[in-house]
Amino acid sequence: MIRSIKPSTFIALSLIICTLAACSSTPKKSSGPIKRPPHSDSAPHRNIDIASIPNAVPKREPHSKYGNPKSYVVFGKRYHPLSSSKGFTQRGIASWYGTKFHGKRTSSGEPYDMFAMTAAHKTLPLPTYVEVTNLDNGRKVIVKVNDRGPFVSGRIIDLSHTAARKLNIIDSGTGRVKIKAIDPGQYRSQKPTQSAKATPAPPQKTPSISSPKPHPTTLPSERLFVQIGAFSNSRNAKNVQKDLYQRLGPKLRIDTHYSDTEKLYRVRIGPIASNDAAERVHTRLNHIGFPGSRIISEPVISH
């Protein structure tokens, strides 16, 4: 004789069966690039010596069959990967991704390693090696593009945590950069780009901010400044300049610039001889109440 099952018992058994079925099911393999929407990400919980992690070394590699479709769609927008990266350059905003995707498969099929020198780009062939320059401080790194993204408006590249830290954009989350594709064949015949230095630890004593002296490592192609602020009103710029003279003394070189294109008065310190000297000036300004200051690199225009 078959005993009848109470409705409540039947519902409970059904829920258990459905739960077990869900746990044992195998997820379907994605048929396109990994979709990485805007997210709340974080840095690793352990400190690493980023100075010990070298730049990616460009080498010839076959294109990923999986990561280079003719086109793909993410969040309703279609992207067309390039067939070649030759001569590719781009300027825009860089971001970074960390623990949330560490160990997960990238669009090329490789596992994402936030400690490696890698990056994600929407259309460059996978893999492509690129040089990334932080336009605000002049720092440069070389990374291997092995993933797709970032799928956020206005951003052109997503850097691994280590690469972003070398460029000093971790705290701000984003940074203005220039990216330039590297030809592995030409790279081997040239001197590799030096890896960007790690962000220095806060000094124990407030450093002096006397006028920077010439340094033998100064790059002739660019000049470094620390910009305190940019103002549309010249009076505001002069007030900041006057305040800085009162705090730091008359020996400090400060220039107020006016740009015809931007129509801004820019209060700056410089040119400064090296990245290290610029970092010291920037730290000093933070100490005396100018946290909005930033390091800027500008090309030298020859006449």
Interval 234-290: pLDDT, tens = 787 788 778 777 776 655 566 666 555 556 777 888 788 887 787 888 778 777 777
Confidence category of residue 35, pLDDT binned at 50, 70, 90: low
> pTM higher than 0.75 for the full model?
no
DSSP-derived 3-state class of residue 163: helix
Residue 127's pLDDT is 97
Please name the residue that has the structure tokens 């970074």.
96
Domains and CATH numbers, the chain: 50-188 (2.40.40.10), 222-299 (3.30.70.1070)
Give the residue among 133, 94, 166, 138 at the shortest CA–CA distance from 295.
138
Residue 46's pLDDT is 59
The H or E element that residue 72 is part of is: strand 72-74
135-142 mean pLDDT: 94
Confidence category of residue 43, pLDDT binned at 50, 70, 90: low
Q: Which amino acid belongs to residue 73?
A: V
Residue 77's pLDDT is 92
Poorest-confidence range of 166-170, 171-175, 182-186, 277-281? 277-281
Q: Residue 58: CB partners within 8 Å, gap ≥ 6?
A: 129, 142, 182, 183, 184, 187, 188
62-91 mean pLDDT: 92
Concatenated DSSP letters of 165-230:
HHTT-TTTS-EEEEEEE--HHHHHTSPPPPPPPPPPPPPSSPPP-PPPPP-TT--TTEEEEEEEEE
Q: Which amino acid belongs to residue 279?
A: E
CA distances from 12 to 2, 7, 67, 136, 159 (A): 19, 9, 44, 61, 48
Residue 231's pLDDT is 73
DSSP-derived 3-state class of residue 134: strand
What percent of the chain is predicted at pLDDT more than 70? 65
Instruction: Please indicate whether residue 95 or residue 34 has the higher confidence score (pLDDT).
Output: 95
HSE at residue 21, side-chain half, CA atoms within 13 A, is: 6
Instruction: Please indicate whether residue 239 or residue 29 has the higher confidence score (pLDDT).
Output: 239
DSSP-derived 3-state class of residue 55: coil
